Amino acid sequence: MIVGYARVSTDSQSLDAQHAALTSAGAEKIFAEKISGAVTDRKALARAISALGVGDVLLVTKLDRLTRSTRDLLNTLAAIGDRGAGFGSLGDPWVM
């Protein structure tokens, strides 16, 4: 299963474009939130990772929608890998 994660930093921004791109890419379930990437306790991201099973993929539209620092990226990818899942970014095909 492809699980999508969408994030914008402020309430005035829209999640619509990310939602549409993730849906077009085959995401069956999308978790979304409006919160700064500098905040490491992102509840929707935690739920998205918890929803992953072996062989699933967490998909974002761009890498910066997932994390804001290398350390956070490595920790997040480790959590995804611990669930036996993979990760992909539509805007960063080298990540797939």
Do residues 39 and 65 touch, judged by C-beta distance below 8 A?
no
In the set 9, 14, 36, 89, the catalytic residue is 9
Q: Is 2 helix (H, G, I), strand (E, B) or coil?
A: strand
User: Which residue type, as a one-letter code, is found at position 73?
Assistant: L
Residue 24 among the catalytic residues? no
Q: Which helix (H) or strand (E) holds 30?
A: strand 29-34
Give the catalytic positions in this structure.
9
